[in-house]
Amino acid sequence: MSFAGNNIGIDLGTSNTLVYVNKKGVIINEPSVVAINTNNNEVKAIGMDAKEMQGKTPYNIETIRPLRDGVIADFNVAKVLIKYFIDKALNNNKFARPKICICVPVGVTSIERKAVEDIAQNAGARVIQLVEEPKAAAIGAGIDVAAAIGNMVVDIGGGTTEIAVISLGGIVVSDSLRLAGDKIDIEVKEYVKRKYKLDIGIKSAEIIKTKLGNACEEYYTTNIEGIDNSEKITTINTTGIDMVTGLPRTIELTAEEIRESMSETINNIVSGVKRCLERTPPELSSDIYCNGIYLTGGGALIKGLDLFMQKETGLIVRVAESPLECVALGAGKICEDM
């Protein structure tokens, strides 16, 4: 009996989990959220349904994200989450014993790796392989990681930013920053609270980041292929609770304000890239100078981030095709070769 069709690659992200199934591609992309009734520990919802509950639940329902900074923070809830996604990918086939490749941040501890392996095994995995996220992202982006050529990948997820220089199938230089999309959401929320005395939800902050988040003014002044300058969004309305009156209030935010609110995290990510470049061997540095830097992950979609990083490093910066799916695609390709 062939098990090839059961091979699964999982991008177990702090914000979202993506699942790749052999010969089908990425078939699941849902939030890494579980809603639980705290009175009896009953699971009420998982994934997209659970995220829809965030900020709207009664006192006895808690929405939990079991991963923090890219690693498992709540073992029991993570077990529920992973089993749910595996069962969904396999159409609840109880007899399937899949090979599973799961992506983890660079530099996770042996205890953290063991926790991921135990959960996958409990979920019914026949073979388990863990792979570093930037290596999977590079493979998913179409980079030949086995070649004797240096390539730099910056994978900006929800909880972590993974930076790595890859050559001959391995990671030569790397760094894992515990700041990424989630940190930007918090910065946007705190900026609005500080400047306008308006308390907005973290989901509202995420929407603002997605629609208006930008890293540099040049995005709005530069002609970018496929984007009409007149269609670039420069303002957005958001509603929250006025911290003085306690009543709902709507304000208009500008692209410049959002750029200011997220500048600290963006600058720290670029600084991390520079530190990795400083530690890169000269021969590989020359390759990166020719090939440029590849951006993957949801953070790669921040408007003008490639332009800003290019200006700060002096290197070509490319946003990978389908950056959100790169890690899952890479995990899937690795799993097919297991």
> In the chain, what are the domain boundaries?
4-136+326-336, 143-179+268-323, 181-263
The token duo for 166 is 């890859």
Separate counts of helices (H) and strands (E) for the chain: 12, 18
Partnered with residue 173 across adjacent β-strands are 165
Cβ–Cβ under 8 Å, residues 167 and 150: yes
Nearest in space to 180 (alpha carbons), one of 300, 294, 81, 275 = 300
CA distance 293 to 290: 9
Helix, strand or coil, per DSSP, at residue 270: helix
Cβ-proximal residues to 333 (8 Å cutoff; 6+ apart), any chain: 9, 139, 140
Query: For 4-136+326-336, which CATH class?
Result: alpha beta
CB 72 within 8 A of CB 119: yes
Terminal Cα distance for the chain, rounded? 17
Identity of residue 134: P
State how far the Cα of 16 lies from the Cα of 326, in Å rounded to an integer: 13
Q: For 143-179+268-323, CATH number?
A: 3.30.420.40
Instruction: Report in angstroms the alpha-carbon separations of 250 from 98, 238, 240.
Output: 50, 6, 7
Q: Which of 179, 174, 200, 180 is nearest to 189 (CA)?
A: 200
Query: In CATH, what number does 181-263 get?
Result: 3.90.640.10
Q: What is the pLDDT of residue 3?
A: 46
* Tokens standing for residue 7: 């091979």
- Please give the Cα distance from 66 to 50 (Å, whole number): 13
> With the CA atoms of 208, 302, 181 and 242 taken in that order, what torsion angle do they form, in degrees rounded to the nearest 10?
-20
What pLDDT, on the 0 to 100 scale, is given for residue 71? 81
pLDDT tens digits, the chain, 338 residues: what are they?
344 457 899 999 999 999 999 889 999 999 999 999 999 999 999 999 999 998 888 999 999 999 987 788 898 899 899 989 988 998 877 667 788 999 999 888 888 888 888 888 887 788 889 999 999 999 999 999 999 999 999 999 999 999 999 999 999 999 999 999 999 999 999 999 999 999 999 999 999 999 999 999 999 888 777 677 777 889 999 999 999 999 999 999 999 999 999 999 999 999 999 999 999 999 999 999 999 999 999 999 999 999 999 999 999 999 999 999 999 999 999 988 76
Q: Tell me the C-alpha distance between 156 and 145, whole Å.
A: 19
- Intrachain domains 4-136+326-336 and 143-179+268-323 with the same fold: yes
Q: What are 195's two structure tokens? A: 């400047």
Determine contact, residues 301/66, Cβ cutoff 8 Å.
Answer: no
Q: Which of 228, 219, 214 is nearest to 256 (CA)?
A: 214
Taken in order 17, 23, 25, 30, the sign of the CA dihedral is: negative
CB count within 10 Å of CB 17 equals 23
